Chains A and B, each alone.
Chain A
């Protein structure tokens, strides 16, 4: 992948996670935001900040993955770390800001003066499905690395010219 192509995905990832949620939030009515804040259902500021951090991390990993050769360990490490970070991000979103709830959201809110309500939303099935997808993605990354490394070893001439050139130009 060329350098410009390799940078398009990271920019898209950061835009989707770091910029778009903030823009979308400016379009939500203020009354709705203050109601959500008052009920204590989700901490929107915390979620937005976390999304920005996830966006930065995933964009960096994507850039690293796209700008390195597939047979390098750096490419493998960035591929595995990227899949793992996507999974943590999904845990964070399924847990409404709490990744360690593993998809089970529970909240207690005061609905009216004399009424309290407790909610438990169990979305663990989706977390399991996401874990399966992430695991497949990691195995896929490892197989891509092994395949590229084997091809590289089978055709050593491809990497040698630079070493030969370096050797000739050295004093």
Chain B
């Protein structure tokens, strides 16, 4: 009887090891492929600065083209904050979406600044805080990044 049990356990153990190896390899390969395809794509990041002609508010539009070249659906989220020198947040925007394998998705967000903030905006003093979240493999594996950049 224990021999049968050990045989069953051995088979389950081998199946788990195979599941572990295949899931890890496909997640690692797919995520790297997605990253490379997104970065090497045509205009991966688009940025545009504009002013509303009526209200005078400033609009900073950001777009990121994500290309899913992996095996699983991915979830991507982008959160951008514009901060002034003393750490005061003057604008922020968020966008998120799921992208199916082999598909492309665009994250678009607009940071709206009031007329006064836009007029007094000093780019050498301000900085962007970019938060990027990436989830894959049924949302079980995730990668998050926060980038603080001063122009």
Question: B98 near A: Cβ within 8 Å?
Answer: no
B149 engages A115 (CB within 8 Å): yes
> A146 — which chain B residues lie within 8 A by C-beta?
2
Query: Of B16, B23, B144, B151, which contacts A133 at CB under 8 A?
Result: B16
Q: For the complex, give the distance between the alpha carbons of A118 and B144 in Å.
A: 8
A126 engages B24 (CB within 8 Å): yes
> A116 — which chain B residues lie within 8 A by C-beta?
147-148
Question: A130 near B: Cβ within 8 Å?
Answer: yes
In the assembled complex, the CB of A117 is this many whole angstroms from the nearest CB of chain B, namely 5
Chain A 108-129 interface mask (CB, 8 Å, partner B; 1/0): 0001001111111111011001
In the assembled complex, the CB of A126 is this many whole angstroms from the nearest CB of chain B, namely 6
Q: Main SS of the interface on chain A?
A: helix
A120 engages B143 (CB within 8 Å): yes
Question: B36 near A: Cβ within 8 Å?
Answer: no
Question: A132 near B: Cβ within 8 Å?
Answer: yes
Given the interface contacts A130-B20, A133-B17, A143-B5, does A122 sit within 8 Å of B143 by beta carbon? yes
Q: For the complex, give the distance between the alpha carbons of A123 and B3 in Å.
A: 35
In the assembled complex, the CB of B78 is this many whole angstroms from the nearest CB of chain A, namely 15
Query: Of B19, B141, B147, which contacts A111 at CB under 8 A?
Result: B147
Number of residue pairs spanning A and B whose beta carbons lie under 8 angstroms apart: 72
The total of chain B residues at the interface (CB under 8 A) is: 28
The total of chain A residues at the interface (CB under 8 A) is: 26
Question: B71 near A: Cβ within 8 Å?
Answer: no
A119 engages B144 (CB within 8 Å): yes
Given the interface contacts A114-B149, A119-B143, A119-B145, does A132 sit within 8 Å of B16 by beta carbon? yes
Binds A, one of B7-15, B37-45, B51-59: B7-15
Contact residues of A with B, CB < 8 Å? 111, 114-123, 125-126, 129-130, 132-133, 136-137, 139-140, 143-144, 146-147, 150
Contacts beyond the supplied A117-B146, A120-B145, A122-B143: 7 A-B pairs with Cβ under 8 Å: A117-B148, A120-B143, A125-B137, A126-B141, A133-B16, A147-B2, A147-B6
